[in-house]
Structure 1
Amino acid sequence: MPSPAAPRPASPRAATTRPAATAAPGARGLAPGVLVALLLAAGCVALTAAVPVVPGLLVAIVLGAAARAVGLVPAVLDAGLAWTARRVLRTGVVLLGLQLSLGDLLGLGLREVAVLLVTVAATFGVTLWLGPRLRVGRALTLLIATGFSICGAAAVAAMSPVADAEEDDVATAVALVTLYGTLALLVIPVAARVLGLGDRTAGLWAGMSVHEVAQVVAAAGTVSAAALTVAVVAKLARVVLLAPLVAGTGIVRRRRTARADAAVPEQAPARRGGPLVPLFVVGFLVAVLVRSAGLVPDAVLPAVKPVTTLALGAAMVALGTQIRVGRLVRTGGRPVLLGGIATAVAAGVSLTGLVLAT
């Protein structure tokens, strides 16, 4: 007859694994992963400084993904890399706000602003509508829609807590947005010449359709200095839309969750909605306002950009290490197709609008 104590062998395992799942690693546990991410990011920043056409964020995430794929990420780095992928990335988004000023919008005409708004809305809306039809997960669809319509990896990071996204989804969205942004920076300058676009139109097209700021600079810089100036203004105008888009999405998702809870009250305690407006998005908006008000000393501004790039680069390295090839294979080509369509919408709508506006 079995003893009542027979089921107990499973208990020690549960007792030993539970603290590991709940205990937060200390500074010593985080340091190795954080330092490795920062060192690799510094190398990527130096590479971009030497060869501006090479997007450092793309190189950073590729390095991280490659290291994970070939087994070069020891377990001692995991805690620090996971922390970097979340906390350092959010710090980079806040610092990005110090590079923006509401006065930058004055460089665009009313028609051009209208084209920019329509492009952002069309890219975001079409991607959200198409994602479920391609059987792409809701969280990943939302991240792709945000990254492709606003400003790439930083936008993905800002939307991720609102979307309740897993790290694999964030890493996949960042990989897609950097991949297609790189393709766009190669195609758009050539297409602009073939189509006979003027420097201003070509620059605006790059600023409204290419995903990352660095990619916009590379794309427009190959056209002319005049194209580069207006491209950066258009891109910064898109970045300014990041906070209202994330806040608006948070409000919509919170209302849907409230209605679902009212319909099925017994399941309400189990629901976990994302924050209405993540604190780091508020920090981003405050940073924009601080910069716009002229409260940042001129001597500080030149140091902000490299620090921001280093923070985002370290986060991209860390996110790259979160990519599991097995999961990407299971997702198939649907997210890749969705990213391609989102890029085509952004490029097509912005070019059509700019041609009609001139």
Structure 2
Amino acid sequence: MATIPALPAPTYSKAILFTVAALLSLLSSPAISLFAGLSFALLLGNPLPGATKKLSKQLLQYSVIGLGFGMNLHESLASGREGMLFTVISVSLIMLLGWFIGRRLKLSDGTAYLIAAGTAICGGSAIAAVSPLTKSSESEISVALATIFVLNAVALFIFPPLGHYLGLNDQQFGIWAAMAIHDTSSVVGAGAAYSEEALKIATTVKLTRALWIIPLAFVTTLVFRDKTAKIQIPWFIFFFILAMIANTYLAIPAEITGGIVWLSKKALVLTLFLIGAALSREVLGTVGMRPMALGLILWAIIGSASLAAITL
């Protein structure tokens, strides 16, 4: 009879400690949870990298769907429309600038395109969606993901204080966070840290923006001339919309929808711990000066342009 090999004692002990730290993160805020995950990974290493990556992706999707049960469809559509025009312009502009500046920095077309996609739409999700279409190498994908991940982690810490310093109201901050922060996880985390209203607006606008993965994927197949690659559609966004419809039109008791939203926020906090734990020394080592320079330039452009659009 085959036996299951036991984990080495140090790895087993670290896995237990990692699990305890993850559960304790549920008592903290999104930013603190992300910082705790980062600290654990950098100081002790992540003993469960494969499970962490898979679970964080699933938890993020479930938590976003659950948040839909706390939103009104009509209000969310109104919020989404406000950012639609800027989304169309900014996505196109960032993709073009990313390609142009990337070439000036002597980056490969694949790396520059993936960093631009991650900045323009929704971070790692956009990179994962278009990377098969660009025929990018593993190293190009790793560099792009690491670059976007580092900036995304920084955004969760600095955006809420910046929003308060600039005197942004809930609606302004929600739109700004959705436009200028890369990944959905940090957008939702930053919105939650700012206010309940900012959370609703940030989530809706970001997911509306994330739908641009689909047209971008079709454009990518034309740019890189690969019509055989499979396009990944973010289906969880449609379930988020269904949750909003159910909350708007069905007589679901407030105790039930409130409980779902509460669990979803806790799932988001745990998700951010797991995402932070994915930032290992190895990941940081893949980020070079030129990819980071491109990421910072594009981030500065989208951040300042979106801030000007909502405040002027």
TM-score of the two chains, using structure 1 as the length reference: 0.62
Q: How does 1:331-350 map to 2 (within 5 A)?
A: 331=288, 333-350=289-306
Q: How does 1:1-358 map to 2 (within 5 A)?
A: 37-48=18-29, 54-64=31-41, 66-67=42-43, 72-73=44-45, 77=47, 80-85=48-53, 87-98=54-65, 99-100=67-68, 102-108=73-79, 110-151=81-122, 155-157=123-125, 159-160=127-128, 162-164=130-132, 166-167=141-142, 169-190=144-165, 192-193=166-167, 200-201=171-172, 204-211=175-182, 212=186, 213-218=188-193, 221=194, 229-230=197-198, 232-242=200-210, 244-256=211-223, 259=225, 275-277=230-232, 281-282=234-235, 284-294=236-246, 298=257, 299-317=259-277, 319-321=278-280, 323-328=282-287, 331=288, 333-356=289-312
> C-alpha offsets along residues 226-267 of structure 1, whole Å, 9 cap, x if unaligned?
xx625641443122321x23233333334455x469xxxxxx
Give the conservation status (yes or no) of the 8 Å contact 1:88–1:315. Answer: no
Provide the rounded CA distance (Å) in 2 between the counterparts of 1:208 and 1:289.
Answer: 19
RMSD: 3.9
Which residue matches 2:135?
Answer: none
Give the conservation status (yes or no) of the 8 Å contact 1:104–1:236. Answer: no
Provide the rounded CA distance (Å) in 2 between the counterparts of 1:41 and 1:287.
Answer: 27
Higher radius of gyration, 1 or 2: 1
Provide the rounded CA distance (Å) in 1 between the counterparts of 2:39 and 2:101.
Answer: 27
Alignment-mate amino acid for residue 162 of structure 1? V
Q: What secondary structure sits across from 2:164 in the alignment?
A: helix
Deviation at 1:346, TM superposition (A): 1.9
> C-alpha offsets along residues 92-150 of structure 1, whole Å, 9 cap, x if unaligned?
34214312465453343855543354345444543344333323455544453344344
Give the conservation status (yes or no) of the 8 Å contact 1:41–1:314. Answer: yes
Alignment-mate amino acid for residue 47 of structure 1? S
- Alpha-carbon distance change, 28 to 142 in structure 1, aligned in 2, over 3 angstroms: farther
Alignment-mate amino acid for residue 251 of structure 1? F
TM-score of the two chains, using structure 2 as the length reference: 0.70
Alignment-mate amino acid for residue 309 of structure 1? V
Alignment-mate amino acid for residue 275 of structure 1? K
Provide the rounded CA distance (Å) in 1 between the counterparts of 2:305 and 2:146.
Answer: 27
Structure 1 gaps, min length 5: 1-25, 262-272
Alignment-mate amino acid for residue 241 of structure 1? R
Q: What secondary structure sits across from 1:108 in the alignment?
A: helix
Provide the rounded CA distance (Å) in 2 between the counterparts of 1:35 and 1:61.
Answer: 17
Q: What secondary structure sits across from 1:277 in the alignment?
A: coil
Q: What secondary structure sits across from 1:323 in the alignment?
A: helix
In the comparison of the two structures, how many residue pairs are matched?
A: 283
> C-alpha offsets along residues 25-47 of structure 1, whole Å, 9 cap, x if unaligned?
x8977x95876654443344433
Deviation at 1:174, TM superposition (A): 0.7
Give the conservation status (yes or no) of the 8 Å contact 2:191–2:199. Answer: yes
Provide the rounded CA distance (Å) in 2 between the counterparts of 1:254 and 1:150.
Answer: 17
Alignment-mate amino acid for residue 63 of structure 1? F
Alignment-mate amino acid for residue 295 of structure 2? G
